[in-house]
Amino acid sequence: MHKPILIIGACGQIGTELTFELRNKYGADNVIASDIREGGDALMQSGPFELLDATDYAAVEDVVMHYEIEEVYLMAAMLSATAEKFPMRAWNLNMNSLFHVLNLAKEKKISKIFWPSSIAVFGPNTPKEDTPQNTIMEPSTVYGISKQSGERWCEYYHKKYGVDVRSVRYPGLISWKTMPGGGTTDYAVEIYHEALKQGKYECFLSSETQLPMMYMDDAIRATISLMESPAEKIKVRSSYNLAGMTFTPKEISKSIEKHIPGFTISYAPDFRQEIADSWPSSIDDTKARQQWGWTPRFDLDQTTKEMLDNLKATTN
């Protein structure tokens, strides 16, 4: 039987689907969902839940000891667009929550950690196309600075204290179960909702802004596959590059038009354009493929079909 797992930030875009999948795999009672707020009905009814502030070390330690938690998935964070508005709050949440979990592992109170990084660790001086695993980073956003610092600390805790921490640099994630939480790639989710509701969408990025993206099913599969891999295969202890697909707002609108003829997109770039311009347009994830067998399954057209079919079914 799998030892108990704690998900922190379980009510967010990724945490919700991760909770469902881990409960499917390991049993509902073995997966403790937690967040600073309550989540959707389906999540709240699917198994044990704790209200928990990730920045409160004593509270996190209490939950870990109470449930005899073995693994923690730390999904709580402030995302890129919101973090630009509240830099100090973002830094405190993104860093303190990570230190708390790393220190619990250092003290041997838990034995494995998943902590997500992001393509936001890269910056304007990074090679944009096929961005390599190891390259110039120099992130220019508050969020990116916190993720790059987080990566350095993960590697440090692994090397110095033997902490088994694993991470991927998620691209922008596209999903239909939970709305995204304030990132720069949120347009690629909103566009499907608006396409069905209004038949049109005003995009906050320009038509040619190409960004790395991934369908949520692929992201969840990557996460669990990394966590289930034997420790000796995981050679990168900062965070793995991870790629699914890459496209522009113009290309996603063309893909939607195949299902919704007459769908139109207009462009009104805002402060998020500058963030997007500092990020890569495509990612080289050779190391993830070679070391733990990563392969994505969803391309843009398959994602569009899944998004539209599922959103239609849930709103009917």
Ligand X SMILES: NC(=O)c1ccc[n+]([C@@H]2O[C@H](COP(=O)([O-])OP(=O)(O)OC[C@H]3O[C@@H](n4cnc5c(N)ncnc54)[C@H](O)[C@@H]3O)[C@@H](O)[C@H]2O)c1
Chain residues in the site for ligand X (CB under 6 A): 8-9, 11-15, 35-37, 52-55, 75-77, 79, 93, 116, 118, 170, 172-173, 180-183, 185
Q: Which residues pair with 200 in a beta bridge?
A: 264
Distance CA 306, CA 314 (A): 12
With respect to ligand X, which residue has the nearer C-beta, 53 or 284? Answer: 53
Closest distance of CB 78 from ligand X, Å:
7
Closest distance of CB 210 from ligand X, Å:
16
Distance CA 21, CA 152 (A): 29
Q: CB neighbours (10 Å) of residue 215?
A: 24
CA 27 to chain centre: 23
Closest distance of CB 240 from ligand X, Å:
13
- CA distances (Å), origin 292, targets 51, 73, 138, 149, 235: 34, 19, 27, 24, 10
Contact 214, 171 (CB under 8 A): yes
Closest distance of CB 56 from ligand X, Å:
8
With respect to ligand X, which residue has the nearer C-beta, 189 or 198? Answer: 189
CB-based burial of residue 208 (10 Å sphere; 0-12 exposed, 13-18 middle, 19+ buried)? Answer: exposed
Distance CA 116, CA 234 (A): 15
Closest distance of CB 77 from ligand X, Å:
3
Q: What residue type is assigned to position 282 of the chain?
A: S
Closest distance of CB 8 from ligand X, Å:
6
Q: Minimal CB distance to ligand X: which residue?
A: 12
DSSP-derived secondary structure for 62-74? HHHHHTT--EEEE
Q: What is the chain's Cα-based Rg?
A: 19
Is 136 in a helix, a strand, or coil? coil
Closest distance of CB 168 from ligand X, Å:
9
With respect to ligand X, which residue has the nearer C-beta, 314 or 316? Answer: 314
Distance CA 76, CA 115 (A): 9
CB-based burial of residue 296 (10 Å sphere; 0-12 exposed, 13-18 middle, 19+ buried)? Answer: buried
With respect to ligand X, which residue has the nearer C-beta, 4 or 116? Answer: 116
With respect to ligand X, which residue has the nearer C-beta, 170 or 201? Answer: 170
With respect to ligand X, which residue has the nearer C-beta, 66 or 258? Answer: 66
CA 73 to chain centre: 11
Whether 170 sits among the annotated catalytic residues: the reply is no
Q: Residues 26, 57, 73, 143: which is the catalytic one?
A: 143
With respect to ligand X, which residue has the nearer C-beta, 59 or 260? Answer: 59
Catalytic positions, written as ranges? 143
